[in-house]
Chains A and B, each alone.
Chain A
Amino acid sequence: MRAINKKLLRDLSSMRGMVLVIALMITCGAATYITFLSTLDSLRETQQSYYQDYYFANVFASLKRAPNSVSEQIREIEGVNRVETRIQSGLNLEVEGFDETVTGMVISLPDEREPLLNRLYLREGRLPTPYTENEIVLGDGFAEEHGFSIGDKLQAVINGKEKTLSIVGIGLSPEFIYQGQPGSLSPDLKRFGILWMRRSPLAAAYDMKGAFNNVVLSVTRDAGVEDIITQLDLILEAYGGLGAISRENQNSHFFISEELKQLGQTATIIPTIFIAVAAFLLNVVIGRLIKTQREQVGILKAFGYRNREIGTHFVLLISVIVLIGLIGGIIFGYYLGQELSAIYANFYRFPYLKFVINPWDVVVAAIISALAAYSGAYFSVRDAVALPPAEAMRPEPPKLYHRSILEKLGAAKYLDQPTKMVLRQIGRQRVKFIFGILGVAFAAALMVVGRMSNDSVKYLIETDFRKAQPFDLGVSFRDNISDHALMEMVRMPGVYYGEAHRTVPVRMIYNHRRHLTSIQGYPQDMKLRKILDEHEQPVNVPEGGLLLTKKLGEILKVQAGDTLAIEFLDGSRESAKIEVAGFIKQFIGLSGYMDIDELSKLLPDRRVVSGAYLLIDRSFEEEITASLTESPFVGEIISKQKIIQRFYDSTAQTWLIMALFISLFAGAMAFSVVYNNARISLSERSRELASLRVLGFRRGEISYILLGELTVLVLLAIPVGFLFGAGLSWFIVWSLQTELYRIPMNISRATFALSAVVVIVSALLSGMLIRRRLNRLDLIGVLKTRE
């Protein structure tokens, strides 16, 4: 081996602490980048292939009832590829030993074949025997939550009749990747089950012989989905069509897409910050590392080494560091990517996971790391090489210091000499100091960002649920019923108070923009359901006109005072023109709100309601729910408390994992920045500090000089980090606005505190390591050598 390469290896080995810390930064940057992007790629890839392999439909429509012959008409719509008509209905389930209300949805399977669309992936068992009654395939999430297996029985109330169903298969379908009640925030595997049954027995149970109430279509590659929906709606209008929707608006797909979109944002923003910060730190650290080699460059040049040879030497040195870091990053990224994808795949209940790692992501991570490292080295190497050898061999002239600003302001009298040293050191190396602050600040900011979504969703729940929805139970009726029904409910023991409302599915049209949503009719002075204005203050529904969720107004591009065309999709085929009275704040969902009497005037049935809100004595909740469940009118019962609980339960895990990931990386980053700063300061000042030790300074006293600077750095970096964190959070929230949620930005004090704690602990840890080095300072060597 050539001597210069031996020097390379020895240099690496003698600087191994710093080499490892620099490599750690590269590892962190590359690992986050690869972890998140491979997770995102894998989930997208899995979703796509699942959709393709199991023929996920493109258009979905529900209706009251249409004869089977209508399917021929649908098939003739241009651009339609496959058509599958089905019978689909909500039902109540009873699970032994589980007292809460369990609802579900049953979907028909063709009698003698597999469905053309939305096929089942069977985890276990088989499809029900054709024409057989009471055999079902059960959704896997529900089965797993309750420990059902093949051969078990399940009690169900189908169309008012109690039945005992026998589980012959456990499966899932691309239609229900997200398994939850429509409108709820998170999958609810425990209280919502999906069942598949052969069509004939189901038709018999629901009185649907020779008819269907649900249809799904796939379309040809170039078909215009909007046109198909319009034509489908036209055909189904006569049969009580509720408005067809495209895949984009299908509940499960919509939820998954939003989640993936959100993950996509996180997967881009967080690793970008990491790799940028790592790049920036690398740049600084490597520049300094090369500076310490200045004399050696002079010596090599004096011996006749060419600039190019010396340059290559350093490129090799850095390449080794980059390589160590990258290999670590790829290994960790690959491993963590698999773990994280598996967690998500399980959360969404994909039948399988196609883990992919895009080589391009690895290449990008490598290029960014290498660029950062080489550019950091470039200027220092160039400067070192440019000097005539004689000058390079001489140590750099002593640095001129100045009095610090604090002293110039007259504080000099109050400062002891060590404190002056700290302040002047900071003043002389302002750029390095600011970079150090930025590095630590970014670490703190990442922590804030990592927990912000948690805080914000809590805030969202507080406002949307607790403030806007003071009810305990929400009941929706199977069909509109007379408003007398409310009287009966309120008479039930444990019910304090009740209010009815009327919700009607509608299509809102303004100019060429259309949106499927609903109008909720509320009585004046409603107590159990509040509409909040922009300042989160409750407002009444207007006596005339319609209030819209702000986001819905933006989608339709309407102003207050504009008139919307409304098509009612409740089967009445009525339509109306209603003026927009104003906008309201609502974080989840999109809706219109108006006076219930005004709404009823526009529709044929005047005195009917579609749901009610109840205020109850919580200790009666189970009994009330049980007796409501038995009522043939009641469709769905929502317990606010349980929705909130469930939401926290199901999302807590993913949040925790995410927060843990981010905390670890942010902690590692804060540690690297502080440690590197300290190590460099130490190598620059070891002589000075050793001299002071000789003069009788104690270990603690010289530690103060070195670590004092770091303390100032960390203390300044924390508020800056909070600011960055808030800014980044704002950006993320802004870019994550979707139709499903509009997450309000909210950062709790606990988040700020945790961020500060992680930074301080990392700083203390590196401070301790540095302190150990300070204790081992060579006091004698310093007397003999020159700077």
Chain B
Amino acid sequence: MGEVRVKALRGIDLDIYSNEVVVLLGASGSGKSTLVNIMGGLDTATSGHVTYRDIDLTNASEKELTNFRRLNVGFVFQFYNLIPSLTARENVAIVTEIADDPMTPEDALSLVDLGDRMDHFPAQLSGGEQQRIAIARAVAKNPDVLLCDEPTGALDSKTGVVVLKALQRVNENLGTATVLITHNVVIGGMADRIINLHDGKISEIEINEDKTSPDEMTW
């Protein structure tokens, strides 16, 4: 079998602004993850342009991309991806140790309401707690961009709400531009803009004037 080229994204033209929460909605295979990967410097586009402020990421080297992630981007994954051998505090510290102007791990953990479980290992924490640590880890370096790929995907709705609240609080307190991937339409309620992706293209951008608090969400 020869290789088959699949174009994940086609003709995307999008700006993300400071302080805003953007929710990317779409079915699986619609290209949400590819878009976020490119924004986060994990992947490079085969054609087109990507810039972050004054930095051109289009043809950035592996080293430049690493540096971009290191200084500017926070990631939250669907399956938390914590380091099992480090405690909650240390999972945050591992990022603050390499950042330019980080908050303390303790402050980051209080931001997600986990100040009291800082010395637990991931194996001793629930899924929701683990995800909140992941959020604390992502924001502790004071990034300008926070990218979350299905952050509630592995959680039940009640725990999911707690995690979303944490994200919201971070956005409000720090003004971090937050991009959140989900296929859960309800979550779109907390966004400033909701971007619908279909088949690699933006099918619709909704400006959400009336944001709902995660507290009011159920699914």
Residues of A within 8 A of B (CB): 397-401, 416-418, 420-421, 424-425, 428, 687-688, 691-699, 701, 779-780, 782-787
Contact = CB atoms under 8 A, between A and B. Distances in A.
A290 B154 CA distance: 28
A400 B78 contact: no
**Top 3 A-B residue pairs of the complex, sorted by shortest distance between their CB atoms:** A696-B70, A417-B94, A691-B81
B124 A695 contact: no
> Interface majority SS on A: helix, strand, loop or mixed?
helix
Contacts of A687: 81
A403 to B, nearest CB: 8
B79 A424 contact: no
B89 to A, nearest CB: 10
Given A398-B123, A779-B42, A784-B33, A416 B97 contact: yes
A695 B75 contact: yes
A783 B78 contact: yes
B90 A420 contact: yes
Contact of A400 (B42, B69, B86, B124): B124
> Interface majority SS on B: helix, strand, loop or mixed?
mixed
B109 to A, nearest CB: 15
Contact of B93 (A399, A417, A701): A417
B37 A787 contact: no
A691 B83 contact: yes
A696 B37 contact: no
Contacts of B124: 400
Nearest to B75: A694
Interface of B: 33, 37, 40, 42-43, 63, 66-67, 69-71, 73, 75, 77-79, 81, 83-86, 90, 93-95, 97-99, 121-124, 137-138, 141, 149, 154
Contacts of B94: 417-418, 421, 692, 695
B33 A783 contact: yes
A696 B84 contact: no
Given A397-B123, A401-B84, A401-B121, 20 more contacts: A398-B84, A398-B123, A400-B84, A416-B97, A417-B94, A421-B86, A424-B85, A692-B83, A694-B75, A695-B75, A695-B137, A695-B138, A696-B69, A698-B70, A699-B66, A780-B43, A783-B77, A784-B33, A785-B79, A786-B154
A233 to B, nearest CB: 79
Nearest to B91: A417
A410 to B, nearest CB: 16
Contacts of A698: 63, 66, 70
B77 A401 contact: no
B118 to A, nearest CB: 13
Contacts, number: 97
Contacts of A692: 83, 94
B126 to A, nearest CB: 12
A612 B138 CA distance: 89
B115 to A, nearest CB: 19
Contact of A421 (B33, B77, B85): B85
27 contacts: A399-B84, A399-B123, A400-B121, A401-B85, A401-B86, A417-B93, A417-B94, A418-B94, A420-B90, A421-B94, A688-B81, A691-B83, A694-B69, A695-B69, A695-B94, A696-B66, A696-B99, A697-B66, A698-B63, A698-B66, A701-B98, A779-B42, A782-B77, A783-B75, A784-B78, A784-B149, A787-B79
Contact of B90 (A398, A417, A699, A785): A417
Q: Which of B86, B93, B141 has the most CB of A within 10 A?
A: B86
Contacts of B123: 397-401
Nearest to A787: B79
Given A416-B97, A692-B94, A780-B37, A398 B122 contact: yes
Contacts of A417: 83, 86, 90, 93-94, 97
A697 B98 CA distance: 8
Contact of A696 (B71, B77, B85, B121): B71
B150 to A, nearest CB: 9
B98 A696 contact: yes
Contacts of B43: 780
A783 B42 CA distance: 11
Nearest to B79: A786
A688 B42 contact: no
A691 B77 contact: yes
A687 B77 CA distance: 12
A398 B122 CA distance: 8
B71 A421 contact: no
Nearest to A404: B85
Contacts of B63: 698
